[in-house]
Amino acid sequence: MILLQGVVNGVLLGLVYALIAAGLSLIFGLMEIVNFAHGQHLMLAMYGAYWLAVLYGVDPLLSLPLWAFALFLLGVATYWLVIARVLRAPMLAQIFSTFGLGVFLQSLAQFVWSPDFRLVPSPLVKGRVEIFGLFVGVPELVASIGAVAAFAVLYLFVMRTESGRALQATSEDREAAALVGINSHRMFALGWGIGLACVGVAGVLLSNFYYIFPEVGFPFALIAYVTVALGGFGSIPGAFIAGILIGLTEVLSGLLIGPAYKYLFVFLVYLVVVVARPRGLFGRY
Amino acid sequence: MNGILRRCQWLFLATLVLGLTLPPQLRAGPAGEIAVGAVYPLSGALASTAKLSRDGIEFAVDIINTRHDLALPLARSEGLPNLGGAKIRVVFGDTQGSPEIGRAETERLITGEKVVAVVGAYQSAVTATASMAAERLNVPFLNPDSTSPTLIQRGFEWFFRATPDDDIMSKNFFDFLKDLETKKGVKVRTVALVCENTLWGVDVCKFERKYAKDYGYEVVAEMLYPARSTDLSSEVQRLKAARPDVVFMASYISDAILYTQTMQKLDFNTQAILAMDAGHVDPAFLKTVGRSGNYIFSREVFSADLGQRKSLVRVVNEMFKKRTGYDLEGTSARAFTAMFVLADAINRAASAEPAAIRKALRETYLSSDKIIMPWGGVRFDPATGQNVLGRGIIVQIQDLKYWTVWPWHLASRDVIWPMPAWRQRR
């Protein structure tokens, strides 16, 4: 029973990890740039949901499409204002540009919203349900269902639509894609938009049950990097499977071996994959 | 540019040498004034906390230097009577929260500002290095507020600490449990220890394990968990499996919030949760978890509701609140108290000579009615410099407020034990 509860917790947690990682993976797969401000983008979405709920009484679930769209626009803007300028710059400059953006966003949040901890007051989904002696938090359940739905939409978009195929083509070979008339800048901007929209959805879903403060994104982003590496850079199904695996590893190793070691095992999984299969479970590189 | 720097260096060295070689009588500064140093993280991440210390110190100095009808030492006189009414002047140094800068600032205050003693520095790690500088320069260092037990195990001769440390306060919890068993018929046999895995949490767990054994409780689960976890469900499930009567916790704010939510989510019930302050008494804690935080116990060093039983606390707190706009709490109250301990020693020493002040500090005895803290008084162990009469209090969250519940003679509310199961709460 305890084990089963652990598995349930692990999967629920893993789905949220997966969605956060999906955006990161997409951007990296497209243009080989790691978004080191990913955690801060998550934090922005959480604050967004929080403020709409507090100031205008709009529940995070209702404001979800709005924030997904807002983060999409932020992603596009980030691409044109920051990333496009360092596209041909050395890798170090690319790292510093997104890292610096992250530091900026976090400091800004601390300055504007203070370092206080906040929680969305009485969200639409709250409490817990008991199924055959298993306890499941309703917001967590909603978040994982939302994550699965977001994944389905993302997958269909990338696989079935014209823009999605163009995105894939650019990701595979940007010069060849340019030859057949795909504007790679537009694709990159689209990739950033979708990547941030994913993390926006994750942030809003998370805000239903997780505390919010300026540094909230950091531990999630750290795990997202591991998830991306495990799933394979650029692979969306990879991020999905890897997220669940990481969630399960964290909860089960904490439960069976000891909480002090849970992140040890998470990073051990990462190390093993990097050594044994550097391109990750589903990666192309 | 280089030349200027070099000249500055020489100037600095010259000041340093001069400062060290000047006869101590010249340290007293302008006639009728005694300079005392205070090193705190006035800028950086802990700036808001350091402001509490600063407010406490400035308030104390104001009472010492002017006439007040209060039971505090030196309140009824102007300045220090044995030094011809000399006034205390505090010179602040900013540690920026860094051990290295803390040490440098302490040196600067002693050699440059000629302070006769130093108080500070809130963070244990900074207190460690700052007091090292004072030790080397033979000036007393009085620490109001750092609770790491290692600070008094260094064999320092110029170091004094007024606050009870984590060791003493861990023991308080078990005294509290024993008291509950005899007075309230509470039955506790098994305990679980949950601590975050940085230096502080590891130390706390060590003391709690030791005292649990000494007091005859069985430790059914001991968990060091990674601080700032994104998920704590495996920890709470382990607690559920271990079924302890009481859970001891040492967590910082984000984990304290997440534990409370996860315990509720996974329906973990126990007789009581005893927390080692930190996250569980952070003002953000109750604001975030709301009613789910009710019934949790925490150790505390001070609580403004002590004024209900001790009129000195009430009067001082009213004055403080009028001045600053907020109630005294642990940090400001301890800084406030330390200034009186120091001023009392300087006055008895009747000298601005650091060695005489150290001697007076070693002979300090302040009874509990002369201080606002819930301690038995102030008396320093000559070997370690620790205040042996220091003692914590235990507060419980009831109706979304912290109330002193132990020791009994200071309690403003009765203990609610056991905490109601989650299902029985509204």
| Residue range A111-143, pLDDT digits in tens | 899 878 888 988 888 888 888 888 898 999 999
Q: What share of chain B is helix, strand, coil (3-state, %, to 5)?
A: 50, 15, 35
Q: Is residue B383 part of a domain?
A: no
Q: Is residue A256 part of a domain?
A: no
First to last CA, chain A: 40
Cβ contact, residue pair B287, A117, below 8 Å: yes
Which amino acid is it at B228?
R
For residue A17, what pLDDT is reported? 94
For residue B296, give how far its alpha carbon lies from the nearest alpha carbon of chain A (Å).
Answer: 19
Residues B160 and B271 both lie in one domain? no
Q: Give yes or no for a contact between A230 and A246, defined as CB atoms under 8 angstroms apart.
A: yes
Cβ contact, residue pair B288, A119, below 8 Å: yes
- Within 10 Å of residue B177's Cβ, how many Cβ atoms? 20
Q: Is residue B386 part of a domain?
A: no
Q: Give yes or no for a contact between A230 and A17, defined as CB atoms under 8 angstroms apart.
A: no
For residue B30, what pLDDT is reported? 52
Instruction: Residue B204: name the closest of B149, B272, B257 by CA.
Output: B149
Q: Is residue B384 part of a domain?
A: no
For residue B283, what pLDDT is reported? 78
Residues B133 and B203 both lie in one domain? no
- Within 10 Å of residue A94's Cβ, how many Cβ atoms? 20
The Cα-based distances of A78 to A38, A39, A40, A75, A106 in angstroms read 12, 15, 13, 5, 15
Higher pLDDT, A285 or B64: B64
**Does A111 reach chain B within 8 Å, measured CB to CB?**
no
Query: Beta strand pairing status for B297-300 and B159-161?
Result: unpaired
Best of A46, A117, A131 to mutate (most B CBs within 10 Å, chain B):
A117
Residues B147 and B12 both lie in one domain? yes
> pLDDT, tens digit, for every residue of A57-74?
999 999 999 999 999 999
Q: What is the spatial distance between Cα A137 and Cα B261, in angstroms, rounded to a whole number?
A: 10
Q: B283 to chain A: nearest residue by CA?
A: A116
A123 contacts on B by Cβ (under 8 Å): none
**Closest CB to B226 among A9, A13, A263:** A263
Q: What share of chain A is helix, strand, coil (3-state, %, to 5)?
A: 75, 5, 20
Q: B256 to chain A: nearest residue by CA?
A: A211
Residues B284 and B411 both lie in one domain? yes
Q: Is residue A15 part of a domain?
A: yes
Residue-range definition of the domain harbouring residue A149: 2-217
ipTM greater than 0.95, yes or no? no
Residues B371 and B419 both lie in one domain? no
Cβ contact, residue pair B266, A211, below 8 Å: no
Cβ contact, residue pair B258, A211, below 8 Å: yes
Which of A259-263, B22-26, B29-33, B191-195 ranks highest by mean pLDDT? B191-195
Overall number of domains in chain B:
2
Overall number of domains in chain A:
1
Best of A42, A131, A135, A252 to mutate (most B CBs within 10 Å, chain B):
A135
**Res B111 pLDDT > 70:** yes
CATH of the domain at B410: 3.40.50.2300
* Per-chain mean pLDDT for chain A: 91
Residues B132 and B20 both lie in one domain? yes
Q: Is residue B295 part of a domain?
A: yes
**Res A195 pLDDT > 80:** yes
Residue-range definition of the domain harbouring residue B216: 167-300+393-424
A128 contacts on B by Cβ (under 8 Å): 264-265, 267
Residues B293 and B254 both lie in one domain? yes
Q: Is residue A273 part of a domain?
A: no
What six digits make up the tokens of B245? 């009567």
Give the angle B233-B234-B236 at the CA atoms, nearest 5°: 65
Tell me what the mean pLDDT of segment B344-370 comes to: 96
Higher pLDDT, B228 or A5: A5
For residue B27, what pLDDT is reported? 47
**Does A2 reach chain B within 8 Å, measured CB to CB?**
yes
- Within 10 Å of residue B41's Cβ, how many Cβ atoms? 25
